[in-house]
Every structure is written in structure tokens, then in C-alpha cells.
A and B are shown apart, each in its own frame.
Chain A
Amino acid sequence: MENLTIRREGGALLLKYAGEITLEMTGDLKRRLDRELGEGDVAVVVIDLSAVPFMDSSGIGLLVSVNTRMKSAGKAFYLYQLSPAVEKTLGLVQLIGFFTVLPDQAALAGVCG
């Protein structure tokens, strides 16, 4: 998945996917994320959604599943920089407030300690 950028900062795993998040992609993204979470100690997951021009309900399902997995392990999950399309899709199902969205780089740096 050349559109997927993954980096680690301290105990944080930062993912950025550039492209549409639809049924076609969610399976691969979830498997890739599962593999990353199995390697080393990850206390925080951040997903950057700034370069996602389109997301459907399977993308919402992916975000919910990662959120549940992290929170049930007592860990943190954040979204970072929602594209307008992602903001609209999450807004439609009233989930903007359900996730914690980091507004800027300072907030991002704050959770990557």
C-alpha cells in the first residue's frame, strides 16, 4: 500500500492514508494496522485523514473498530486533520464528537510524548 505512511514517535503510531477509504480498502488497512499493533508497545494511535477525498460507512466502521480496540486496552486513539469529505461523512452519523480529533500540530505533538 504505497499510499499508506506509517511512523512511530515514542509510543505513538501515526498513520496517514492518501486516497479513498471504501470497502475496497478497509480490509487491507485493518490488516496492516493489526500487524503494526502487534509489533512493539503502542500506547497511542493517530490516524491522519487530511488526504482522504472520500470515505464511506466501511471507513467509519474501521475507525470505530480501532477506537474500540485501543480504548478497551486502556490506550488512546485520535483522529488528526479531517478532510472536508471525512468531516461530512462522520457528521452525517453524528460521530464527530465521539472521536477525539486533534486540531493542530501542537495537539499532535502533545500526544506523541
Chain B
Amino acid sequence: MERAVTRKVFRTISHPGDSRRLAKEVVDYLAGHVADGDILHDLDIILTEACANVCRHAYGGEPGPLEVRLAVTPGAWIELEIVDWGQGFGSGVRFENPGPDAEGGRGMYIMRMLASDCRVQRRDGENVVFIHKDIGAAQWKT
């Protein structure tokens, strides 16, 4: 059976506080669909890490446009695209867990751990972190 997909777009400018608030706004919206608090926390971490990356790296440390595109298929999955129009990821994306003494470089690893699928893409001037998370039928609100 083909299930309906709900789509929604959230936007802000990537100051640290506003990036975190955008992540919360998306999670608050998702709390209308997903009942499981642990899964909402997973999504909160994923979004916060992705938005923090935009904040720190996309525009050379300056604020710039940040967008989250959300697609929800209740009972099945959530997809997130975290989008910026900055300098892009280049070849420097690392999904591995760095050594314990490293002070940074854990964001992508954390996102990959919490998602069913996690990819970075560049298309038509957009830098996109694509996240797919399968969510079991019992974890949704009815």
C-alpha cells in the first residue's frame, strides 16, 4: 500500500542559537507524529549536529541561510535534508569515530550511528546532508 508523505520546510540563519532553535522546532513538529522519546532524542541529536556543522563550516564561520526539509511517512520513516548554500564539504567528510583525545570530528559519526542512512550530497549549488530513519510502527502516535 502506498502511504502518504507529509512534507515541511523549516528555515533560519545559521547563528549558533538559531541553528539549535531550528533543530528544536523540527523535533517539536515531529513530536506530533512520533511517540517514542528516545527516537525523538535521536532526531534532535542528528539535526543539532547537522545544523551546528552549517553554523561552523558552511559560510567560513559566518551566518548564512540554513534549511531543513522534512518528509514524514507515518508508521514507516522520516527523511531529513539539512541544506546550506556555502562552500560545501569537499573531500573532508569523515564518518569514522576519531580517537578519544580528539576534540572534534564526531558529528558525522554520531549522525551515521543514529540514522538508517546518512549521505552528503552537492547538487545545484546546494550542500545537502540527507538522513533516512526507519521507525517501527509501534513508535508512532496513532
Alpha-carbon distance between A22 and B100 when the two chains are bound, in angstroms: 19
The answer on a CB contact under 8 Å between B55 and A23 is yes
Give the contacting residue for B110; candidates A20, A22, A54, A93; CB below 8 A. A93
Q: Does B107 contact A (CB under 8 A)?
A: yes
Most B C-beta atoms less than 10 A away, residue of A56, A57, A94, A95:
A57
Our pick among A56, A68, A95, A98 for the contact of B45 (Cβ within 8 Å) is: A56
Contacts A23-B52, A24-B17, A98-B100 supplied; 15 other A-B pairs, CB < 8 Å: A22-B16, A23-B55, A24-B20, A54-B48, A56-B52, A57-B49, A58-B104, A64-B100, A65-B103, A68-B103, A85-B41, A88-B41, A92-B45, A92-B110, A92-B113
* Contact of B103 with A64 in the complex, beta carbons under 8 Å: yes
Question: Interface SS of chain B: helix, strand, loop or mixed?
Answer: helix
Between A and B, how many residue pairs show CB distances below 8 Å? 57
Q: What is the interface of chain B, defined by CB distance below 8 A to chain A? A: 16-17, 19-20, 41, 44-45, 48-49, 52, 55-56, 97, 100-104, 106-107, 109-110, 113-114
Top-6 shortest CB links A-B? A61-B103, A57-B106, A24-B16, A98-B100, A23-B52, A23-B16
Say what secondary structure dominates the interface of chain A.
helix
- With a cutoff of 8 Å between Cβ atoms, the chain A residues found around residue B49 in the complex are 56-57
Closest chain A residue, CB of each to CB of B98: A93
Q: Which residues of B contact A95 (CB under 8 A)?
A: 100
